Amino acid sequence: MRGCAIGSEAQPAGKTWWEQQRTGLSRLIAVLAFLVVALTESRWELHQEPVAIFLFSIGLALAAVGAAGRIWCSFFISGRKDGQLVSEGPYSISRNPLYVFSCIGLVGVGLTTETLTYPLLFLAIFGLYYPGIMGREERRLEELFGEAYRQYRQRVPRFWPRLELYSEPASWSSNPRLFRRHILSDIWFIWIAAIIELIEGFRSAGMLPHLLELW
């Protein structure tokens, strides 16, 4: 289960239809976003190229932070048995660190379009879409772990990390097969940024039209 303090392979009973379709819906949104990006041009690039370069550089850095953070989270959850509460490492400072790093990476991807419109739009989508998901996951975690999870919830913030709470074990084991599988999904910010840059190259070469200019 992503974004929660539980081993990622645990699949508790009682998942709603919405939760079961979440991955597919996220991919559909991503495809639609790609189509929109492919048809738009950055006004910063057209009129203020240094600003465009700055936005792209910051975006790439944030995308890298998002990918690295998700890999860090995956390392901790890929070594846990099904149904085991994880409350150390990144999960000691936030109950949903995967979502925290996803948010950072999403803003980064938006900035690689060299606009301010897309990161703000992506933030709005994230703010509307994910709080409900986190709430449903938390209710299921409370059903699974009872008092242990309630104590964890009282101690650790839901989203924004509290760095002073950080703790980690002296040693940690991880399942290599699961970890490799997680990495492929955790670095999606990087390859999306690369695809956006490829689209920009095609547009600069006159191979793709643009219908909109955005700041």
Q: Where do the domains of the chain lie, and which CATH numbers do they carry?
A: 51-214 (1.20.120)
Q: What pLDDT is recorded for position 211?
A: 66
What tens digit of pLDDT does each residue of 37-60 get?
666 776 666 567 788 889 889 998
Report whether pLDDT(79) > 90.
Answer: no
Residue 3: which pLDDT band, with cuts at 50, 70 and 90?
A: very low
Residue with the larger pLDDT of the pair 60 and 26: 60
CB 99 within 8 A of CB 130: yes
Q: What pLDDT is recorded for position 36?
A: 67
DSSP per-residue string spanning 119-185: HHHHHHHHHHHHHHHHHHHHHHHHHHHTHHHHHHHHHS-SSS--GGG----S-----HHHHHHHHHH
CB 104 within 8 A of CB 159: no
| Cβ atoms within 10 Å of 189's Cβ, excluding its own | 28
Averaged confidence pLDDT in the chain = 78
Which helix (DSSP H) or strand (DSSP E) does residue 40 occupy? strand 40-42
What tens digit of pLDDT does each residue of 81-114 get?
556 788 889 999 999 999 999 999 989 988 988 8
